[in-house]
Structure 1
Amino acid sequence: MRFEGSHLGVKPDDRLECGICWWVYDPEQGDDVRGIPPGTSFADLPDDWCCPGCDAPKHKFMVTE
């Protein structure tokens, strides 16, 4: 894992994990809770998107390896 805030400059297929509740955003699956369709990269999520598990903001996510 990288440091908190490592969501900056992620690749389109990178999976990111919430540093608070460990929920994983997988671009292949999208986010049913927030209405994000499959195929949406983390970088393309709206600025106000937050973790569906705990409402953490995007900067709390870390790229998984």
Structure 2
Amino acid sequence: MQPYRKYRCLNCGLIFDEELGMPEEGIAPGTRFEDLPDDWYCPDCGSEKQDFELIDY
């Protein structure tokens, strides 16, 4: 299984962590970024999914 990844919003810096999900937004822990709907947007600033970048550690 592929390790969980983190993605950062390029506009506000919000981190989407696949391992944690966003339960307060209805996104279960373990949800992969690519499995989010194409019309998903940043809950903090409203940026589109394509405005997120993979964080490489």
Aligned length: 55
Aligned CA-pair RMSD = 1.5
Q: Deviations over 1:14-38 (max 9, x none)?
A: 2100000000000111113420100
Percent of aligned pairs sharing the same letter:
42
Q: Structure 2 length normalisation: TM-score?
A: 0.85
CA distance in structure 1 between the aligned counterparts of 2:39 and 2:4, rounded to whole angstroms: 21
Asked which structure has the greater RCO (Cα within 8 Å, sep 6+), the reply is 1
Structure 1 residue runs without a partner (length 5+) = 1-10
Instruction: Decide which structure has greater strand share.
Output: 2
> TM-score scaled by structure 1?
0.75
